[in-house]
């Protein structure tokens, strides 16, 4: 999946979404009704499409903000600990969102 989502063993539905998100990243000003209709034909709902666009846009914003402000990357060990915590507890812990 990480090497190439186009040839990964994922559903055609997921490949359609990744194709769309790739276009959002490369040429968002060229998104057309046909792009949305393709996603709908693959079973994506209006809400799921909206969520995908929102997550994509937010990550683009966050990456640019982090790069431009000089926020340092976490060390590899911190990513490992974060992954372990998320795997064991998810995003919610003790009824509070972290």
Q: What is the pLDDT of residues 62-97, one digit of tens each?
A: 999 999 999 988 899 998 998 888 888 877 666 554
Rounded alpha-carbon distances, angstroms, from residue 69 to 10, 25, 58, 63, 96 = 36, 21, 16, 10, 29
In a domain, 44, yes or no: yes
pLDDT for 92 equals 66
In a domain, 7, yes or no: no
pTM equals 0.74
Q: Cα angle at 13 between 54 and 31, to 5 degrees?
A: 45
Residue 48 structural domain: 12-93
In a domain, 5, yes or no: no
pLDDT for 73 equals 87
- What CATH number is associated with residue 78? 1.20.1290.10
* Pair of tokens at residue 31: 């998104």
Residue 98 above 50 pLDDT? no
pLDDT for 95 equals 53
In a domain, 35, yes or no: yes
As for how many domains the chain has, the answer is: 1
pLDDT digits (tens, 9 = 90+) for 12-66: 999 999 999 999 999 999 999 999 999 999 999 999 999 999 999 999 999 999 9
């Amino acid at each position: 999946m990480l090497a190439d989502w186009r040839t990964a063993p994922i559903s055609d539905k997921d490949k359609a979404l990744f194709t769309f998100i790739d276009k959002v990243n490369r040429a968002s000003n060229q998104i057309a009704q046909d792009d949305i209709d393709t996603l709908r034909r693959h079973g994506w709902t209006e809400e799921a499409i909206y969520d995908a666009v929102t997550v994509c846009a937010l990550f683009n914003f966050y990456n640019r903000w982090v790069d431009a402000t000089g926020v340092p990357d976490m060390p590899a060990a911190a990513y490992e600990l974060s992954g372990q915590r998320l795997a064991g507890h998810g995003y919610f812990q003790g009824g509070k969102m972290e």
